[in-house]
Structure 1
Amino acid sequence: MKSSSHSSMFVPNWQSPANVGACQSTRCEGASLAPYSSFNLGLHVGDDPLKVLKNRAHLDSLLPNPARYVQQVHGTDIHIVNDESSTDTVIADGLFTNLVGQPLAIMTADCLPVLLASKDGTEVAALHCGWRSLAGGIIEKALPLFQSKPSLIAAWLGPAIGPMAFEVGVEVRAQFLASSAEHELAFKKHRDKYLADLALIATQKLNRLGVKAVSNQSECTYTLNDKYFSYRRDGETGRMASVIWRKF
């Protein structure tokens, strides 16, 4: 990996209310060794658990409380974190809460992280949007959890594998076109396959459902190897986290 001047975290630039906090991790300035160097937050990828926990502790030091994670399986289940929630590991690909001071974390290494916040800042969600979760309807399942109307929800799309790097088969394109012909704009023919634009698909879905305030980080995890982990590029690698919480 090339030497990097990037920091371990940055704050998303999006239309979020003052009482919502959010941050995005990079691969930089952590404790993990190659191939997980350096700020790996994934305990499930083969890295030294003590180094991962050291990285997670650094992240938690920047948050009002420890981040809540889920065991992600490329599905569409969304776990609602409330006062009765246990801290046991939950299998899901999204988190939702209206609790104050409870950070929600989604891990990625090419899949698209989507953060959602009501414009009054009382409700937040974090979604793990790989193509399977997007095709399965995770965004469609998340929005009804909000009391706010979709027109009063803002979305941030984090770093993910970009539209020039994400090659998929004809069957993936067919799944999306079956739900909406509009998704054809998100696919470009590439030899006998297609290049897919995850961020565009997510934006189309959000817009169609009434969410108009969509901000896109527009950074490709596959090509920015000094800043981000990429599973498709490296295979054995770490994970970034996208985190959101209600401040008050």
Structure 2
Amino acid sequence: MVRKVLEFITPDWTMPDHIQAYTTTRKGGISPSPYDSLNLANHVNDTAENVEKNRKTLATALKLPTSPLWLQQTHSTEVVNSQDWYEGIEADAIYCNQINHVCAIMTADCLPLLLSNESGTEVAAIHAGWRGLADGIIEKTIAQFDDAAEHIYAWLGPAIGPEKFEVGRDVYETFLSHDPMAEVAFQATDDSHFLADIYQLARLRLRQHGISRLSGGHYCTMTDASRFFSYRRDGETGRMVSLIWISNK
């Protein structure tokens, strides 16, 4: 199979040159349908050989200084420091203040959230599905930073859009029980179903904790099938990866 050219999305923020941050699209790998083509997840039914080749292609394309620190994501609020990482660790966010530790989280509708302080000495990557978001994954990750929240930038990567993310009353009530202001992120479709804006829910949490320098949040993984994997759209599918690291450039 001929590899297509990889495509990446980069955060629309102003960061020092030594901060490297990217989100992959589905384009550029070798995996067959329904993982076509740059599937980077080894927990779906794609072959281990395909995933390994795709990861090597990614490393070459981005000239990664080291292998990404892959997480076993479980929709938890567990945050790991990159210095404490080990293969197979279960966590849904990773914080780093070390050079060339490549932080990575995988998504296919959930929100990938990248953080960096203004001086580029601290970064983090968050897998923010609705459960982790409601339970405080953002707050726990921010707490890892030494720098003040007003010096932290946040970029909201490709996730399911507000016109497609239908949830039940349980999700609606979970968020409102934490903050009644979260109601602005929900639109009722009937008595028991709502359209949820995961971007708005994340922005509310970030702003409540002092982070106001926000960008991104204008994608929809479910409707943009040519660029993005979407679990809700396809069921069996691949995963994109969002990466951030402090380089020694």
Measured against the shorter chain, the TM-score band is over 0.9
Contact kept, 8 Å, 2:11 with 2:216, in 1: the verdict is no
- Specify the SS of the correspondent of 2:155: strand
Q: Deviations over 1:119-158 (max 9, x none)?
A: 1101110000000000010011011100000000000000
Match of 1:214 in 2: 214
Measure the CA separation in 2 of the matches of 1:86 and 1:158.
23
Contact kept, 8 Å, 2:69 with 2:85, in 1: the verdict is no
> 1:202, CA displacement in angstroms?
0.4
Q: Deviations over 1:45-65 (max 9, x none)?
A: 110110111111111221221
Measure the CA separation in 1 of the matches of 2:152 and 2:72.
26
Measure the CA separation in 2 of the matches of 1:172 and 1:6.
39
Match of 1:127 in 2: 126
Match of 1:239 in 2: 239
> 1:76, CA displacement in angstroms?
0.4
- Identity fraction in percent: 43
Correspondence list, 1:93-242, <5 A: 93-191=92-190, 192-242=192-242
Name the aligned partner's letter for residue 220 of structure 1. C
Contact kept, 8 Å, 2:29 with 2:54, in 1: the verdict is yes
Contact kept, 8 Å, 2:199 with 2:217, in 1: the verdict is no
- Specify the SS of the correspondent of 1:35: coil
Measure the CA separation in 1 of the matches of 2:217 and 2:209.
21
- Specify the SS of the correspondent of 1:126: strand
> 1:247, CA displacement in angstroms?
1.3
What's the TM-score once normalised by structure 2's chain length?
A: 0.94
Measure the CA separation in 1 of the matches of 2:5 and 2:197.
25
- Specify the SS of the correspondent of 1:145: coil
Measure the CA separation in 1 of the matches of 2:89 and 2:24.
22
Correspondence list, 1:57-76, <5 A: 57-61=56-60, 62=62, 63-76=64-77
Q: How many residues align?
A: 242
Name the aligned partner's letter for residue 198 of structure 1. I
Contact kept, 8 Å, 1:8 with 1:39, in 2: the verdict is no
Q: Deviations over 1:169-211 (max 9, x none)?
A: 0110101111111110000001230000001100111011000
Contact kept, 8 Å, 1:77 with 1:138, in 2: the verdict is yes
- Specify the SS of the correspondent of 2:143: helix
Contact kept, 8 Å, 1:42 with 1:238, in 2: the verdict is yes
Contact kept, 8 Å, 1:15 with 1:213, in 2: the verdict is no
Match of 2:23 in 1: 24
Q: Deviations over 1:83-136 (max 9, x none)?
A: xx3532100000111110111010000000000001110111000000000001
Measure the CA separation in 1 of the matches of 2:142 and 2:56.
31
Contact kept, 8 Å, 1:15 with 1:215, in 2: the verdict is no
- Specify the SS of the correspondent of 1:183: helix
Deviates more, 1:157-166 or 1:7-16: 7-16
Name the aligned partner's letter for residue 216 of structure 2. N
- Specify the SS of the correspondent of 1:65: coil
For structure 1, list consecutive stretches of 5 or more residues without a partner in the other structure: none
What's the TM-score once normalised by structure 1's chain length?
A: 0.94
For structure 2, list consecutive stretches of 5 or more residues without a partner in the other structure: none
Measure the CA separation in 2 of the matches of 1:233 and 1:189.
21
